[in-house]
Amino acid sequence: MGKNEESITHLFEQALLVSEDELELSFLFVDASPWEQFLLNPRRLRGSDFLMRWSQGKWSEDRLLAAIEDTGEFFAVPYGISSVAPDEDPRASELYFEFLERADAGEIKRPDLLVFPMRVHKEVQDILQDIGALPAPASVVSMEEQEDALRFFQGLQPEQRLPFFEESHPLLQSLIHLSLLAVEAENSLWITEMMPSFRESLRPMARLGGKPGLPKSAVTPTIIIKDEDLPLLGAWEQKNQTPVHIWHVFYDRAFGISLEEAVRLINDGYISGTAQTFQAPGGATTKKTIYKIYHHYAYPLATTTEPPTLTADRIIDKNGHILPYVRFSGGRIRLTEKAITVLRGLL
């Protein structure tokens, strides 16, 4: 019997949930491969898939941070739980999530990035410095191995400590109130230029009641958001009076849309939900409803000006099992004039 959603309780597994569509090697328009059932079938290298997805996700967020700062007008700080996790060592990331689990940090949904105008850069840095000087919350040190716990906490960068403190903390509130925008970041391993339906125009679809769309089989860039995240992000937006946008990064470009506009498109029937199976690194699967918002409704966010370097890497588990994966590093993306205009409009 397969594991169900109730099995996926650890924050580390939740953060690495990946659609099964993303885990499969898809050879569109190609006949079945003769090695499909072999032991070394890449379809079965699930651990490597997750590590590569984690690496690509961290890379895409780092590129967003750099691109925002390159404008000279804005900068951003990683804020969400997965965004601030250690990114050089998957083992360190797992340990980080274990500490967060004990601190009940998974109770709310925090956007991945906070974007600020450059004029408040010093104020934000001062707040982060103050956060870095705070003692570890009781939830971190109330463990049997208190010495190890304190050593772990003290080794974190100030922004990596953010999820250990409740959002009601005055320093976090000051940080949020200085921000212009909160970003929920998504990414996909696709080259948009090569997606068959990228340049197709939307046309009336019967399944959408005559509203514009594309066939279900169309392969085109979309901004993806989970149904379960909509009320959580909406509540965060309303509580903190800070707009939330969803930014979806592909290999060669990125798109953005406001949470408000995404909700309107869904509520008005322009975008229908899709049931999708997600899998965690431990093997547990769960079905979630997601919304795929056509890029036609989004604003062009960024384009790749320098592709990343893909290098072979590996981790070795405690049993000596080697898991190879591809690490994304380097490269640059540049925000579009439209995206900069959107940010200026929030000043």
pLDDT digits over 92-111, tens only?
666 677 777 766 555 668 89
13 pLDDT higher than 70: no
Tokens of 50: 């997750």
Percent of the chain exceeding pLDDT 70 equals 71
Q: Using CB atoms within 10 A of its CB, is residue 333 exposed (0-12), middle (13-18) or buried (19+)?
A: buried
Contacts of 259 (CB under 8 A, 6+ apart): 184, 230, 233, 234, 237, 243, 244, 245, 246
> How far, in Å, CA of 6 to CA of 284, rounded?
9
pLDDT band at 151 (very low <50, low <70, confident <90, very high): confident
Helix (H) or strand (E) holding 285: strand 285-294
Give me the pLDDT at residue 159, please: 87
Contacts of 186 (CB under 8 A, 6+ apart): 223, 224, 225, 246, 247, 248, 249
Average pLDDT, stretch 70-99?
77
Average pLDDT, stretch 57-62?
82
> How far, in Å, CA of 80 to CA of 109, rounded?
8
Report helix, strand or coil for 166.
coil
pLDDT band at 46 (very low <50, low <70, confident <90, very high): very low
Task: Say what angle helices 229-240 and 259-267 make with each other, to 10 degrees.
Answer: 130
Q: Where are the alpha helices (DSSP H) in 212-281?
A: 229-240, 259-267
Average pLDDT, stretch 270-288?
77
Average pLDDT, stretch 279-305?
86
Calculate the average pLDDT of the chain: 80
Three-point CA angle 323, 328, 332, nearest 5°: 175
Average pLDDT, stretch 177-202?
93
249 pLDDT higher than 70: yes
Give me the pLDDT at residue 96, please: 73
Give me the pLDDT at residue 145, please: 60
> How far, in Å, CA of 300 to CA of 331, rounded?
19
Give me the pLDDT at residue 26, please: 41
> How far, in Å, CA of 125 to CA of 274, rounded?
41
> How far, in Å, CA of 185 to CA of 187, rounded?
7
Instruction: Please say whether the dihedral angle defined by the alpha carbons of residues 1, 6, 103 and 160, taken in this order, is positive or negative.
Output: positive
Q: What are the residue ranges spanned by the domains of the chain?
A: 5-344
